[in-house]
Amino acid sequence: MTRTIDALKRNKLIQEDIRELDDWIMDKEREILLDDGSIFYHEQIRERLEQYQRLQTELTLKEHTVRTLIEQANQSSPELAQQIDTIISNWSNLLKRVDNKVIFYTDLYKLHEELKDLLYHENIWLDTLQNRIYTTGNTNVDLEDASEELDSLERFLKAHSKAGYEKVFEISDRLQIMKVSIPAINSQINQFRIRWEQLHEDVTLTQTKTKKKKKQ
């Protein structure tokens, strides 16, 4: 009789723990939105990544409690084992959703950082190109020196791969698909595109002027 009473008490405690864990899982599920909405400021990327990383840490800390409760329920009664099966399913889904969010925002953060780095280095190259164009087109030198400067400018231009330029817009398109539209970075990309095109037009004009001098 005593064993039966003890078993009932133990089962009741386990059932309360199952109910408590189920409520906890439901609370955490409410923190995970199916769609977090668009991103308009770069700070939002880090904020969301940190939000889901914190939740991921909470789940890791809770894992021992979940495993212990699963073991207790399976050893107690078929009814509790059935209830814990539902908990296992909900727990697994929660883990998967949180992990996917962390992966998504980690990738998003890396993409944004790569884009910033690309723009920085491509603009440094454009600064150098602009200085070379100015030097080539505005130096009062003889025709031979002018030709050498033009050759140097053309070599500098050919030595720089267009891959960086194309990558900027590839990443920009990917970010748009991922619902990231940050006005500040969009403005930088637009200015970069305009400047790139203008400086390449200036190179063509410089080439034309130098060739005309040769014919004179």
* pLDDT score at 215: 63
> How many CB atoms are closer than 10 A to CB 94?
20
* pLDDT score at 149: 83
* pLDDT score at 193: 98
In the structure, what pLDDT confidence band is assigned to residue 89 with cuts at 50, 70 and 90? very high
**73 occurs within a structural domain:** yes
Residue 127 · residue 158 · CB < 8 Å = no
pLDDT at 191 over 90: yes
What is the mean predicted confidence (pLDDT) over 120-146? 83
**166 occurs within a structural domain:** yes
Average confidence score pLDDT of the chain: 89
One domain, residues 137 and 84: no
The amino acid present at 177, given as its one-letter code, is I
Share of the chain above pLDDT 70, in %: 90
One domain, residues 159 and 188: yes
The amino acid present at 17, given as its one-letter code, is D
**175 occurs within a structural domain:** yes
**91 occurs within a structural domain:** yes
Q: Look at the chain and report how many structural domains it folds into.
A: 2
Strand partners, 180: 39
In the structure, what pLDDT confidence band is assigned to residue 5 with cuts at 50, 70 and 90? low
* pLDDT score at 138: 67
> How many CB atoms are closer than 10 A to CB 65?
13
Residue 135 · residue 66 · CB < 8 Å = no
In the structure, what pLDDT confidence band is assigned to residue 94 with cuts at 50, 70 and 90? very high
Which segment of 61-65, 110-114, 137-141 scores lowest on mean pLDDT? Answer: 137-141
**144 occurs within a structural domain:** yes
> Tokens 């990443």 map to which residue?
171
* pLDDT score at 207: 84
* pLDDT score at 7: 62
In the structure, what pLDDT confidence band is assigned to residue 136 with cuts at 50, 70 and 90? confident
| Domain edge (last residue) among 71, 96, 121 | 96
Which tokens sit at 192? 């970069």
pLDDT at 41 over 90: yes
In the structure, what pLDDT confidence band is assigned to residue 1 with cuts at 50, 70 and 90? low
One domain, residues 28 and 79: yes
The residue among 166, 169, 164, 154 whose CA lies nearest residue 125 is: 164
**107 occurs within a structural domain:** no
Which tokens sit at 206? 């410089």
| Domain edge (last residue) among 72, 96, 120 | 96
CATH of the domain at 158: 1.20.58
Residue 158 · residue 208 · CB < 8 Å = no
The Cα–Cα gap between 193 and 73 comes to 63
CATH of the domain at 12: 1.20.58.60
**102 occurs within a structural domain:** no
**104 occurs within a structural domain:** no
Domain enclosing residue 47, as ranges = 2-96
SS3 142: coil
pLDDT at 63 over 90: yes
138-183: pLDDT as tens digits: 656 566 667 788 888 889 999 999 999 999 999 999 999 999 999 9
